[in-house]
Structure 1
Amino acid sequence: MRVLVIAVGDRGPKWVTESCKTYANRLGKPWIIELKEISTERRGNNAHIGKIISAEGSRILAAIPNDYHIVALDQKGDQFTTEKLSDFFLQWTENSQNVAFLVGGPDGLSADVLEGADKVWALSQFTMASSVARLVIFEQIYRAISILRGLPYHRSSG
């Protein structure tokens, strides 16, 4: 199963990039996690944010392979638990469904991206830097799959 994280912006701090790689490498087969970075539109003093988000959104949509289940990450999306994410990974695996998680830039995701997604989820109600959102989603993917594999990484609070 392939998991693609498509994120607007640069890598951010080296420790974020290294941490994401660590989680991806820990998974091993049959899960493959990849990061695809989309360049951020230039933002100047007179920048039109709507046009910027739209341009970034067009590049995000173009980067999604055919037949991927699309999960857009947005502060206003549905919240879910790690256990629920693990349930979704079980469904996707059983259906041989690859999945793409979409992370917006400084101004979020375009309406086209949100409307075209199969699901819109919130990592948190907090606003966070794109690089931090990447790290959180990589860790949560690892944690959810660890539950499926019966690994001791996740400890339920219940």
Structure 2
Amino acid sequence: MADGFAEYRKRLSHWLPLDLVEIEPGIRGKGRDAARATFDEGQRVLAAIPKGALVVALDGRGRTWSSEQLAQRMETWRGAGRDLCFLIGGPEGHAAEVTARADETWSLGPLTLPHMLVRLVLAEQLYRANAMLANHPYHRA
């Protein structure tokens, strides 16, 4: 999955940079408070968001988009002239403060997916959306 992410990151570089910033997870385990871990994680996420960035939180309660709809969103986001920041939550999801900071929430669907797979799907879908906007033949739906 890491190789797949790296491949789409490389392909995307023609249209936009894709930087991966990993946040230290909250401490979880037996006898630990999961809510506190999520809150602590959230504070680190908020601190890492670039000033003025347009924030899209991946969240199961967010809106689902087809690839075509994502391309339309990408065109709107690019037109805003702001950095884009996509957030993938921890095991319990995003802290409430992170969701409140998000400009939009996006759901990849009702499944719970591991982080590495979400990264790969996110990178591939961003590549697909940008390819569609560039009239590149990658998307063949």
The answer to whether 1:21 aligns with 2:2 is no
**Percent identity (aligned):** 35
**For residue 88 of structure 1, what is the aligned residue in structure 2?**
73
CA offset digits 1:42-66 (Å, max 9, x no partner): 2121111110100000111111001
Query: Gapped runs of 5+ residues in structure 2?
Result: none
**For residue 102 of structure 1, what is the aligned residue in structure 2?**
87
**For residue 41 of structure 1, what is the aligned residue in structure 2?**
26
Structure having the higher strand fraction is 1
Q: Give structure 1 regions of 4+ aligned residues with deviation exceeding 3 angstroms.
A: none
Q: Secondary structure at 2:2's aligned position in 1?
A: helix
Q: Secondary structure at 1:39's aligned position in 2?
A: coil
Structure 1 residue 30, shift from structure 2 partner: 4.1
**For residue 5 of structure 1, what is the aligned residue in structure 2?**
none
- d(CA) in 2 for partners of 1:28, 1:103: 21
Is the 2:57–2:102 Cα contact (8 Å) retained in structure 1?
A: yes
Give the TM-score, by structure 1 length. Answer: 0.85
- d(CA) in 2 for partners of 1:18, 1:39: 22
How many equivalent pairs are there?
Answer: 141
Structure 1 residue 140, shift from structure 2 partner: 0.5
Query: Gapped runs of 5+ residues in structure 1?
Result: 1-15
The answer to whether 1:139 aligns with 2:124 is yes
Q: Secondary structure at 2:39's aligned position in 1?
A: helix
Is the 2:58–2:107 Cα contact (8 Å) retained in structure 1?
A: yes
The letter of the residue matching 1:86 is A
The answer to whether 1:118 aligns with 2:103 is yes
Structure 1 residue 114, shift from structure 2 partner: 0.6
- d(CA) in 2 for partners of 1:78, 1:148: 21
Q: Secondary structure at 1:115's aligned position in 2?
A: helix
The letter of the residue matching 1:63 is A
Give the TM-score, by structure 2 length. Answer: 0.95
Q: Secondary structure at 2:60's aligned position in 1?
A: strand
